[in-house]
Amino acid sequence: MNNNAMRFWCATFFSILVLFVLFALSLSYGTVHISWSNIYHYLAMDSDTLPEMTRIIIHDIRVPRFILAVLVGAGLAMVGTLLQTVTRNDLADPFLFGLSAGASAGAVAVMTRLGSWLGEWTLPVAAFVGGIISALAVILLFSFQKSKGVERLILCGLAISFLFSSITGYLVYAGDQRSASAILFWSMGGLGLARWDNLLFAGVGVIALLLLSFFRWRSLDAMLVDEETSHSLGVSVKQLRMMVFIVSALSTAAFVSLSGVIGFVGLIVPHLAKPFSGVSHKYLIPLTAFFGSVLLALSDLLSRILISTQELPIGLVTSAIGALFILLFVLRK
């Protein structure tokens, strides 16, 4: 076993242990504290002995919330890794291409204008549709470019991002002001929409990313060099780049539709994982998934316990961690 594989398996094992610890802490801590004895009874499949309200809090609220944190954290981290590879840009993340701005516009349109026309599914569906529309807009704008370089794709993404951000701002100020607090919280991210029946939505996004990585990891490795060398290795750079973008767009739209806009996960996790996995995507993609899960689960726990009387938007926590990481990264360089 080579050094990269050894470091990968050690880091993976450690990540799994941390996730188990975070799972237990997430079940216990929050606005309502649940004793460790009740946690033990629940995990031991002895939930019939628990008070009804305690069982509801654990089973219907905190367990789905933790699972959603794991799925969204893993998904955003993998998307960030893939985009950084195909764009050869270490600062690329899931929200560089206007995906979050489109999802935000869809969600805000529902909150301020359309109302709950699909019940509990209204907000996730509207955010997902908004994310898909923004992704299609980026692809359409990119198709009109004479140069198909990656810098053009990034510029198209930024243009669409600014466009949908302006639409969101207009909807906020021209719509129902009573929903301003809900819009603010959603735009900074949160896992309050987690339910057992919508976890599959995020799970499909994670599975799509894993399948893409599993079948194309050698081609992704070839993208680490210049385009001419990639072509000589038999990789269709434009086709692979567009495939990664489409899968990333669909997956990110699914994640954002349930969690709101959570930044920095896709940006910083690939850099945290590379020292333990190396640059080969055979090890890098799964390790970023584990690291992303740990980061978002930890951030969600902190968002619930930093202020005892209320819950912070999870995006504030990830932004603080991301700012600290970038500061250390700059000072190190």
**Whether residue 21 has pLDDT greater than 90:** yes
Q: Is the pLDDT of residue 59 over 60?
A: yes
Q: Residue 283: what pLDDT? A: 92
Can you give the pLDDT at residue 181? 67
Q: Which pLDDT value is given to residue 325?
A: 81
Buried b (16+ CB within 10 A) or exposed e, 191-205: bebbbeebbebbeeb
Q: Does domain 3-332 have CATH number 1.10.8.80?
A: no
* pLDDT beyond 90 at 154: no
The pLDDT of residue 164: 85
In this prediction, residue 333 has a pLDDT band, given cuts at 50, 70 and 90, of: low
Q: Residue 317: pLDDT above 80?
A: yes
Report pTM: 0.89
Is it the case that residue 312 has pLDDT exceeding 70?
yes
Residue 140 has pLDDT above 80, yes or no: yes
Domain ranges of the chain: 3-332
Question: Model confidence at 175, in pLDDT bands (50, 70, 90)?
Answer: low
Average of per-residue pLDDT across 237-260: 85
Q: What is the DSSP annotation of 13-76?
A: HHHHHHHHHHHHHHHH-SSS---HHHHHHHHTT-GGGS-HHHHHIIIIIIHHHHHHHHHHHHHH
Does the structure show a pLDDT above 90 at 165?
no
Say what the pLDDT of residue 178 is: 64
Stated as kind and residue range, the H or E segment containing 297 is: helix 281-305
Name the residue with higher pLDDT: 231 or 195.
195
Query: Largest alpha-carbon pair distance within the chain?
Result: 67
Tell me the pLDDT of the chain averaged across its residues.
Answer: 84
Residue 210 φ/ψ region, left for φ over 0, alpha for ψ in the -120 to 50 degree band, beta for the rest = alpha
What's the helix, strand, coil split of the chain in %, to 5? 80, 0, 20
